[in-house]
């Protein structure tokens, strides 16, 4: 099995990478943050319309009862 001991140079190298990434991300966040909050405020102030769907009215037709002959074949109505 591969054994990789933790050394001070590896720890310092990892910290250096993290600080390098943080130094790039923090200014980007500071530039973008006001834009995001202003967009959030604009969205909060927009009037929202309720979307309603029209209700479907079911048409009911009266069922006609006809005299049936006893031995006649029945078909789908």
**Three-state DSSP class for residue 48:** coil
Minimum mean pLDDT among 1-5, 8-12, 62-66: which range? 62-66
Whether 18 is covered by a domain: the verdict is: yes
In a domain, 59, yes or no: no
In terms of average pLDDT, the best of 11-15, 41-45, 70-74 is 11-15
Range of the domain at 27: 7-46
22, 41, 42, 39: which is closest to 30 by C-alpha?
Answer: 22
pLDDT value at residue 40: 80
For residue 24, being part of any structural domain is answered with: yes
- Better-scored residue on pLDDT, 73 or 33: 33
Tell me, what's the pLDDT at 65?
Answer: 60
Mean pLDDT of 37-60: 74
In degrees, rounded to 5, the angle at the alpha carbon of residue 21 between the alpha carbons of residues 15 and 24 is: 140
What is the number of domains present in the chain? 1
User: What is the reported pTM?
Assistant: 0.41
User: For residue 69, is it within any domain?
Assistant: no
Residue 40, domain member (yes or no): yes
* Whole-number Å distance between alpha carbons of 9 and 12: 5
């Amino acid at each position: 099995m591969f054994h990789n001991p933790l050394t001070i140079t590896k720890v310092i190298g990892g910290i250096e990478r993290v600080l390098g990434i943080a130094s790039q991300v923090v200014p980007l966040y500071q530039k973008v943050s006001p834009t995001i909050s202003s967009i959030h405020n604009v969205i909060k102030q927009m009037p929202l319309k309720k979307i309603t769907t029209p209700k479907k009215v079911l048409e009911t037709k009266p069922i006609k009862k006809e005299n049936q002959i006893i031995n006649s074949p029945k078909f789908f109505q």
